[in-house]
Amino acid sequence: MNKFSPRVQYWRDKRRRGASLFAAACASAPEAGACLPLAPDLILYHPAFPSRPPAGETGMLSALQASGNANEAAAASLAPLPELCAPCPVAMGVCGTDPLLLRGPAFAAWRAAGLEGVANFPTIGLADGFFRADLESSGLGYAREIACLREAREAGFFAIGLACRPEDAVACAEAGCDALIVHLGLTAEFLPLPLAMARKEIWPGFASALRGKGKIEPLVFLHGEHLTGAADEAAWKGMFLEGCDGLFAAGGPLRVKALRALVPV
């Protein structure tokens, strides 16, 4: 397999021209259709969200709710998306910690359906403390997600790693992920840390950890949940000028549209 898929090579060429990248999350075909006029470089699909309120706001932790077999639910609704979103590529969030996921047959079926990329979402990276330690010791930790991403790339997908702490970002890079979606942490109230604060307190750890890791440093998307006000928007512009490659928008079409306006074209 080539070092980069044609999609990933296009993203890298676009960045070399000075343009930023923009990725959008969707939970259904109608949500994907609503995002397409915004010209995203990537649609990341996963249906493991509760019904959205009118404002479209849901937190990332909602994807960890036990609402069924996440991979089965995602695959069941995948079929119309590649054709609907073309030429925009579609990646699917995969629960890589699921011990019942038969990766080989699943990857073959998803490739046949037109899926181009795989991401580790839902991710146990959102968990911390004793709960995270117990997940890791039980064999249901982040390493299983990394193994899923590595195997997906070997199967011909591009791989998008969702990383919530620097060591997770390094693991994604060393596994050969083509891009990362970096989430800079949650607050005690389980809301995303504002970017203006996270950029000073947390982002330097990611930046230094990623430097020189992996054969090729992955493209980096900032998770847009951190942009909640004018100070955060200013911080994002600074990150873009310093080399952050793009913005990832989730939370429904209204939120995606609002964040699209912040991305240079």
Residue 178: pLDDT band with limits 50, 70, 90: very high
**Alpha-helical regions (H) of 78-186:** 81-85, 103-112, 129-137, 142-154, 166-174
pLDDT over 90 percentage in the chain:
56
Read off the tokens for 194: 């504002």
With respect to residue 15, please indicate whether it lies within any of the assigned structural domains: no
Tally of domains in the chain: 1
- Supply the DSSP symbol for 186: B
> What is the model's pTM?
0.87
With respect to residue 127, please indicate whether it lies within any of the assigned structural domains: yes
Summarised one tens digit per residue, pLDDT across range 131-145 is 677 777 777 788 999
Nearest in space to 155 (alpha carbons), one of 93, 112, 218, 213: 112
- Find tokens 């195997």 and name the residue: 151
Cβ neighbour number for residue 127 with a 10 Å cutoff: 18
Read off the tokens for 37: 């006029």
Cα separation, 224 vs 204, whole angstroms: 18
With respect to residue 164, please indicate whether it lies within any of the assigned structural domains: yes
With respect to residue 265, please indicate whether it lies within any of the assigned structural domains: no
With respect to residue 16, please indicate whether it lies within any of the assigned structural domains: no
Tell me the mean pLDDT in the region 85-108: 93
With respect to residue 18, please indicate whether it lies within any of the assigned structural domains: no
With respect to residue 116, please indicate whether it lies within any of the assigned structural domains: yes
Q: Is 112 helix (H, G, I), strand (E, B) or coil?
A: helix
What's the domain range around 202?
Answer: 6-10+23-260
Cβ neighbour number for residue 147 with a 10 Å cutoff: 14
With respect to residue 147, please indicate whether it lies within any of the assigned structural domains: yes
Angle formed at CA 176 by CA 113 and CA 80, multiple of 5 degrees: 15
pLDDT at 55 over 60: no
Tell me the mean pLDDT in the region 98-102: 87
pLDDT at 24 over 70: yes
Tell me the mean pLDDT in the region 65-79: 79
pLDDT at 124 over 90: no
Which pLDDT score, from 0 to 100, does residue 2 have? Answer: 41
Cα separation, 254 vs 1, whole angstroms: 38
Which pLDDT score, from 0 to 100, does residue 60 have? Answer: 55
CATH number at residue 51: 3.20.20.70
pLDDT at 6 over 60: yes
Question: Taking the chain, what is the end-to-end CA distance rounded to the nearest angstrom?
Answer: 31
Which pLDDT score, from 0 to 100, does residue 138 have? Answer: 73
For the purposes of burial, counting CB atoms within 10 Å of the CB of 45, is it exposed (0-12), middle (13-18) or buried (19 or more)?
buried
- Find tokens 């230094």 and name the residue: 208
